Amino acid sequence: MPNILLIKDLARTTGFSVYTLKFYLKTGLIKEINHSPETRYRYFDESTVERLKKIRILQKEGKSLKEIKDELL
């Protein structure tokens, strides 16, 4: 069974703030794998963690968010 993370767990695991992760969701840099309509919780998996690692590397290379989004598509 895959490791399922809530946004707070994703923040703790990756070092990105919850605020930043919500911004990335809004702009389409990351996507949730599922969500609960009752609780409004968003769920993520290891593929999101790996994507955020790539985003961090590209940021360190000085790429803009648009360049990062274009590269990850």
SS3 (DSSP) at 24: helix
Tell me if 47 sits within 8 A of 21, measured CB to CB: no
What are the backbone angles phi and psi of residue 42, rounded to the nearest 5°?
-105, 145
Buried b (16+ CB within 10 A) or exposed e, 23-35: ebbeeebbeeeee
The two tokens of residue 34 are 């599922």
Q: pLDDT tens digits, residue range 54-65?
A: 999 999 999 999
pLDDT given for residue 16 in this prediction: 97
In whole numbers, what is the pLDDT of the chain averaged over residues? 94
Class for domain 7-72, per CATH?
mainly alpha
- Given a cut of 60, whether residue 39 has pLDDT beyond it is yes
- Domains of the chain: which residue ranges? 7-72
Would you place residue 73 in the very low, low, confident or very high pLDDT band (cuts 50, 70, 90)? confident
